Structure 1
Amino acid sequence: MDALERIGFDRLGLVVTPRGVTTPAVSAPLLAEFAHAGVRFANPEEITDGLAGPHRELIAHIRAKRGDKGTYAPLFRGFPERLPQFDDAAFRFVMARVRLRTGDEDWEDALDFSRFGWWPASSIPQDEARAEADRRAQAMLPRDSRIEWITVRLVERPELEERLTTWMRDCFTSAASLREDVRNDLGVLVNLLGADGIEVGDVRFRENRTLLFELLWALDRPRLPYTGATPDDLLRLFAALTGGDVSLAEPITFPRLTRADRRVVINTLEASDRLGDVFRRRGLWLAIDRGLHVGEFRAPRVRDTFALLRETRHDYTAFPSRFERTLARDHAAAVRLAAAEAPGLLGRSLRRLASLAEDEAERAALVDAIAEAGERIPLRVLLAARAQLADNGRTYPRVVFGKDGSALPIVREPGHLAVPKDFRAALLAAIDGTVDARVVAKGDWSGETVWIEPGLDRLLLPDQLRATAQGLVQVERGSRLPVGDAAVVRLFVHWREAGERSDLDLSCVALDERFQIVDQVSWTNLGNGVMTHSGDLTSAENGAEEFLDIDMSRAIGIGRKRGWRYLVPVIFRYAGPTFEALAEAYTGWMLRNDATSRNRVFDPATVANAFPLTGRKRYAVPMLLDLESGEVLYVDVYLNSAPRARVEQDGRDVALLVAAVAGRRRTKVTIAELALTHVYSRGATLVDDPAKATITFGTGEGRTYDALRPEKLLADLL
């Protein structure tokens, strides 16, 4: 499997089958092997004998994506039916403190009673010999009867390249940031397929523009002057090349360039119709001017512009500070400044600016600014501003996500930054008018029929894919998908050390409808009649696993009596190196019908989602189960904590965090809302049957816009 085939499978669900004959004696076993890995084909009749052999590497790749990093085994035999007879964590801690007073053991060793034959199922270092025997025994057990299918399509090589070229164009032109793994794949594709089909003018999102210019700089540098790159594009390129901040909020370092490289930069500036933008960031360009040696090149526009730049004393480099200073003394002037120089900031700050408007003149100025600058505000920003205004401060806590996936909950009283009713209506009308005009400009749909899959009102429009997990399923945080009808949801974490001893702990917290903690299962409490823990391993030299089963029928029945509404898995880093420093670290969940000791404890074909654990934080929260609605709500965040992170110490922070993520649906745009906006503004007709539709919105192979592969949607509709 080469790079194109791997990317085609990961991003588009495509499998290349070489041209040739199809022999049932070959194709039937091939299809069966893929089925064992949870893969089925939308067009199995297209399979050829040429796929035999190469299929092994693909199946290994699929299994790895589903978290299969070896033969998994539970710590105690008999999981999940039989818990250890005695495992009182509080008593264990008391005894550990006694041991610390009488010996030199450190805390982890003091908690380890395995050499006394005590508590052999929990809080012990891995027994390598026993683990290996258990893994061999697991391999002899039957699989689960359930399969969580991944549906893919067989194609020939030319179609793969054509589809990947389209996907690459959609990624670059999408109106959202891209994950690091997607960015890496785009680099591979540009290198192998070229970038001739990408119109730089269509690449609007600044991080995506920077990535494209970075790739062109590496692969086709002389092309840069013909791309329409602006001075700001060059600054962001320099920031990317030197590991700086591409938002240009911080000073950047000018890279060391050859004379030929400097000629490319000068020629790009000379060709730009935005050369005057250098005055907006005077400080940065003056710093760069010393390394460019403009006078060495025949570039009269650049030479004259930089001469004037050196003479002027007005500094345009710190727009945020100028904006804040202006806002402190003159609200209307600040609004006009933002509309003229930073319309995106105007949209992102709209609710704050609206709440600070004190009189009719200031309010009218803000409404007028939105109407006048609306065509220069990114459509996704306008839609987000509309959702924020519609909520009007009712939903708290909220959460802000960092570029590294970290989360910061924001706690305020309901009504914070609320906007008066009439003023809010005027702002919403201005936004709606602008949005309608922007959508209409994308083309007429008057002859189209559109079907929108039920449930898309539960999926939020992706707006920050940069830090989302590299899972089998990618949706925006706060989105919901049905959990299905499985008897058991089995959570898992797998990790392997890279030298230093490491202890990860899988836990699950039960919350009531107000997001208050009502119960938990973890290494300190292995079971509660609904959830069952497989036991706590405190080292993983050759790879270790922990499992936690949730009996769904009991969770709904008994949980209702106990006041449960949500179940929240958490992976704590109790001790040892960060997630990213481990040799392997995966988590996810399976949907099982036969979750007993008579079946394999881990079956990749039952994995609903899996993703690597990354980052330097103390714990990860992948999702929550909503027992009332029968849905998985995607949380996908990392948080910090004091050392020895655990439920008892960090449970309240977990509850606050998931409450904030669950509330995002009231302050964000859903995919259904975006689809309906295009239907109504562009004159299409809604239908209730996908077979009657010319345009379909849904989840899965064959839809015009697949919400689970949002690149095309983000490129075409925003």
Structure 2
Amino acid sequence: MVDRLEPLVIRHARRLPLPSGPAGQGGVVARQFDGALLSVGFKLSAELLERLSGLSEETVRQVAARTLDTVREMVGDHVRHNAYFVDFPANVPDTFDFWTRCIAGALADDASHDRTLAQLSTGVVDLLTLPSYGTYQHTYAEVLAAHDELIAAAGDRMTVLHLGGALEDEVTALYLALAGSTTPLGEEGLRDLRLLAGHCADGPQPEAIPVRENRAVVNLARLDSGADLLVDTVTDVLRLACALSDGDVTLAEPTRLRSLSRPVRRALIGALDTVVAQAPAKLADVTAHREMFKRLGERLHPHEYPRRPHAADVFAVARGEKRARTFDSRVEELLGANDVTGAARLLTAAPGKLFRSLDRLLRACRTQEERDAVVTAAEQVAPQVAGRVLLSVREHFHNRAEEVEELEGPEEADERRRVFVNRLGRAWVTTDTRPPVLPPERKRLIAALDAETRHRLPAPGHLLIDPDVLDVALPLSGKATAAGLGVLPRGSLSPVDGELLRFFVYWKQTSISTDYDLSALMLDASYATVSWLSYTSLTEVEGEHSGDIVDAPDGASEFINLRLGAVRGAFIVPQVNIFSGEGFEDVEESFFGFMLREAEQRGRPFEARTVRMKSELRGPGRVALPLAFLRGSDGRWRAKWLHLYLKGNPSHNQIEGNRVSVATLLRGIVERDFLTVRYLTGLMADHATATTLWDGKTVPDEPVTYIGLERPDGLHPDSRIITPENLRDLIPG
């Protein structure tokens, strides 16, 4: 169990649970362990190194082996990264010269000569039919031999592993943090919570589990342990049924429900019956997932439980045999009758729905009296609204145009666009035809939201802030952040320092030949194309492409090397196109990342300690846009985090075919103001005893609330520490 739980603590908390074992003289092995970690961009804190040095050598070796496996996977160093061109980024040929060389090789090969000659006679040659195209022409060992050793640089990434408590204490703390999160977790977080919930079922539980998806995963463990289920809606039971079938507890995608044992059926029927008996109006929730409830009824056999008539009502509603009027239909009826005040009054019974409907209600108002009624209703119920909803609405109205004519001319107003991103990261753009929200109501709402948020934030004491974290977007949903190392929420800005920027993608197919293509698009300040690097353009002024790999039974990598000083545009947009084969969610493994290094460092195509970000590619669509790079007015580059997926084509996706859609999406994200850490720390500072911007060197002797990208060594043990790994803890409940 240690092998499964310890990596979770390291990944989520950057802490190594307190190693246990016989005392000894482990100092030499501990320093060797620290040296091995340095090669992949990690190191032991002084406290952790000292603790390991007091253990036996064998204990330290065991800890080192487990930990190195974990951190190598975190950074993408657990696989071999080969490159098509053995000397990459040196000696990358011109694209046309390279293709000509491949054709010449095919003509010299008896097996492909006739086929290639026949293609040449038509004037079109399929590159995939050329023997030397798209497959490695050398071994991984030959790549290593072709490159000088990486020269260490001060700018190399260094992630510190800190000393944790006992494994059980660390696991319990992580479970309570994930289960009690005020924001939805991402796919990885839910998967980890499921393991932790099973292990911690008989231990301490969070005071509240506000996120329904988290509750479904916890209920799965409670069901196994015989504890009471935490359900207060019929949808909670449906989510649990999906969890029992290893399906989607968010209910965004349909789940094929499995047959259930009699004890499980009895528990779920009992939960449904209790919920409806206590609040019959909750039957209205069935209609939102009518088909899924029909399928659930087929699995639960409600006719076998005549003493549970309220549960039977759930499935009668799903089949249309019983009517349950929904809350939303009553709201729509009032709005259809132009009774905006009545609709706002009704929505106060569902504060979250009211807040999500504020823009629509204000646009429907015809008089100042109606507008005042809507805003007053929002002010009254604000204390009952979840913190992440408060912040989402605050961000929405901050970006809402007060008066289109005041902000831009009439011609530009017609070109306004709205960018939509669903919970899976699928993005699309449409024309924004909404009339504006008038300034008085917008400002009044923003003031009310700020006041409520400020009231909920805890007093931080001495607030110590890393300036680089201020432009990180608030994680209002784990769905806006991919799993990985150094990954920030969608909309975040982070500094990029270095001469060379190198992207990488790795994928390993499951069963069929799969071709992913790494590309980079350079755009000017008006989002027009300047140039690109891809398998169709191997070299440009900006840099080099490592070459196209078209099959990955044992895994494959592609790289793009960019000289930031030579980039002619204002934006760099890396993307991963699926040319053929399995999707991002179907391959055995796929991830994207970027490295930063200085020109004199050299090294192999992939060097773990230069990796700044490694992000899993597990989304819908056939084109992935993990992030973009923006050149500021000061000439410095910054990363803008996107986490987007375009639908693309079923096959043959290329950068040439999606340049316009990528530019449009990028514009929508870049020009939107996301709510950031700067906003919350500004509110927290009102209650702080002191607020200090950390200089990266010294830390106070007293306890602090530290908020930054990395945890400094030497903080007081009673400090509260917020880094990207637990940034969700900043979101008030």
Scaled by the length of structure 2, what TM-score is found?
0.82
What is the letter of the counterpart of residue 707 of structure 2?
F
Summarize the Cα distance change of 1:469–1:426 in structure 2 as closer, same or farther, 3 Å threshold.
closer
**Relative contact order: is structure 1 or structure 2 higher (C-alpha 8 Å, sep ≥ 6)?**
1
What is the letter of the counterpart of residue 184 of structure 2?
S
Query: Which among 5, 18, 40 is matched to residue 20 of structure 2?
Result: 18
Residue 364 of structure 2 is aligned to residue 345 of structure 1: no
1:46 equivalent in structure 2: 51
Counterparts of residues 175-214 of structure 1 (less than 5 Å): 175-194=182-201, 196-199=203-206, 202-214=208-220
CA distance in 2, matches of 1:650, 1:527: 20
Query: Which among 403, 417, 424 is matched to residue 423 of structure 2?
Result: 403
**Residues 451 and 695 of structure 1 are in contact (CA less than 8 Å); yes or no, is this contact kept in structure 2?**
yes
2:668 equivalent in structure 1: 660
Residue 476 of structure 2 is aligned to residue 469 of structure 1: no
- Structure 1, unaligned runs of 5 or more: none
2:82 equivalent in structure 1: 73
Counterparts of residues 50-129 of structure 1 (less than 5 Å): 50-85=59-94, 87=96, 102-103=118-119, 110-112=126-128, 114=130, 124-127=133-136
- Offset at 1:509? 0.8
2:38 equivalent in structure 1: 35
**Residues 173 and 203 of structure 1 are in contact (CA less than 8 Å); yes or no, is this contact kept in structure 2?**
yes
CA distance in 1, matches of 2:301, 2:122: 56
- Structure 2, unaligned runs of 5 or more: 107-113, 408-415
CA distance in 1, matches of 2:316, 2:357: 33
CA distance in 1, matches of 2:564, 2:301: 65
2:722 equivalent in structure 1: 706
CA distance in 1, matches of 2:116, 2:531: 30
- Offset at 1:479? 0.3
Q: Which digits, 9 at most, give the CA deviation of each residue in 1:376-404, with x for residues without a partner?
A: 22122122212222222379544332233
What is the letter of the counterpart of residue 621 of structure 2?
K
- Offset at 1:134? 2.7
Q: Which digits, 9 at most, give the CA deviation of each residue in 1:445-490, with x for residues without a partner?
A: 3x92323332333111112213632110232101011112x22111
What is the letter of the counterpart of residue 8 of structure 2?
I
1:545 equivalent in structure 2: 557
Residue 162 of structure 2 is aligned to residue 149 of structure 1: no
1:453 equivalent in structure 2: 466
1:627 equivalent in structure 2: 631
What is the letter of the counterpart of residue 182 of structure 1?
G
Identity %: 24
Alignment: residue pair count: 678
2:344 equivalent in structure 1: 335
Counterparts of residues 580-619 of structure 1 (less than 5 Å): 580-594=585-599, 599-619=603-623
Summarize the Cα distance change of 1:266–1:515 in structure 2 as closer, same or farther, 3 Å threshold.
same
- Offset at 1:507? 1.2
CA distance in 2, matches of 1:316, 1:646: 49
CA distance in 1, matches of 2:311, 2:30: 67
What is the letter of the counterpart of residue 537 of structure 2?
N
CA distance in 2, matches of 1:307, 1:75: 58
Residue 640 of structure 2 is aligned to residue 637 of structure 1: no
Scaled by the length of structure 1, what TM-score is found?
0.83
Summarize the Cα distance change of 1:83–1:263 in structure 2 as closer, same or farther, 3 Å threshold.
closer
CA distance in 2, matches of 1:31, 1:106: 61
Specify the SS of the correspondent of 1:182: helix
**Residues 421 and 427 of structure 2 are in contact (CA less than 8 Å); yes or no, is this contact kept in structure 1?**
yes
Deviates most, 227-236 or 403-412: 227-236
**Residues 509 and 520 of structure 1 are in contact (CA less than 8 Å); yes or no, is this contact kept in structure 2?**
yes
Deviates most, 688-697 or 71-80: 688-697
- Offset at 1:3? 1.0
Specify the SS of the correspondent of 1:580: coil
Deviates most, 63-72 or 170-179: 63-72
Specify the SS of the correspondent of 1:171: helix
Specify the SS of the correspondent of 1:424: helix
Deviates most, 13-22 or 170-179: 13-22
CA distance in 1, matches of 2:669, 2:217: 29
Specify the SS of the correspondent of 1:518: strand
- Offset at 1:586? 2.6
Residue 679 of structure 2 is aligned to residue 670 of structure 1: no
- Offset at 1:2? 0.9
CA distance in 2, matches of 1:232, 1:29: 53
Q: CA RMSD in A?
A: 3.9
Counterparts of residues 306-705 of structure 1 (less than 5 Å): 315-316=323-324, 318-330=326-338, 331-340=340-349, 342-393=350-401, 397-412=417-432, 416-437=434-455, 439=456, 445=459, 448-466=461-479, 468-484=481-497, 486-555=498-567, 559=568, 564-594=569-599, 599-628=603-632, 629-642=636-649, 643-664=651-672, 666=673, 668-680=674-686, 682=687, 685-688=690-693, 691=700, 694-701=704-711, 704-705=720-721
Residue 245 of structure 2 is aligned to residue 238 of structure 1: no
Specify the SS of the correspondent of 1:466: helix
- Offset at 1:7? 0.9
CA distance in 1, matches of 2:94, 2:36: 40
Q: Which digits, 9 at most, give the CA deviation of each residue in 1:177-233, with x for residues without a partner?
A: 11222212112222223353224x51112222222223322x223422xx5645443
Summarize the Cα distance change of 1:356–1:26 in structure 2 as closer, same or farther, 3 Å threshold.
same
What is the letter of the counterpart of residue 517 of structure 1?
T
CA distance in 2, matches of 1:307, 1:616: 32
CA distance in 2, matches of 1:423, 1:75: 59
- Offset at 1:133? 5.7
**Residues 354 and 366 of structure 1 are in contact (CA less than 8 Å); yes or no, is this contact kept in structure 2?**
yes
Summarize the Cα distance change of 1:93–1:27 in structure 2 as closer, same or farther, 3 Å threshold.
closer
What is the letter of the counterpart of residue 571 of structure 2?
Y
What is the letter of the counterpart of residue 613 of structure 1?
L
CA distance in 2, matches of 1:374, 1:105: 73
CA distance in 1, matches of 2:24, 2:136: 51
**Residues 507 and 520 of structure 1 are in contact (CA less than 8 Å); yes or no, is this contact kept in structure 2?**
yes
Specify the SS of the correspondent of 1:68: coil
- Offset at 1:494? 2.2
Counterparts of residues 227-306 of structure 1 (less than 5 Å): 227=230, 229-241=232-244, 260-261=263-264, 263-265=266-268, 268=271, 274-281=278-285, 291-292=301-302, 296-297=306-307
Specify the SS of the correspondent of 2:348: helix
CA distance in 2, matches of 1:545, 1:206: 38
CA distance in 2, matches of 1:303, 1:76: 64
CA distance in 1, matches of 2:315, 2:492: 53
**Residues 506 and 548 of structure 1 are in contact (CA less than 8 Å); yes or no, is this contact kept in structure 2?**
yes
CA distance in 2, matches of 1:254, 1:497: 27
CA distance in 2, matches of 1:304, 1:607: 56
Summarize the Cα distance change of 1:542–1:595 in structure 2 as closer, same or farther, 3 Å threshold.
farther
**Residues 566 and 627 of structure 1 are in contact (CA less than 8 Å); yes or no, is this contact kept in structure 2?**
yes
- Offset at 1:510? 0.8
**Residues 73 and 134 of structure 1 are in contact (CA less than 8 Å); yes or no, is this contact kept in structure 2?**
no
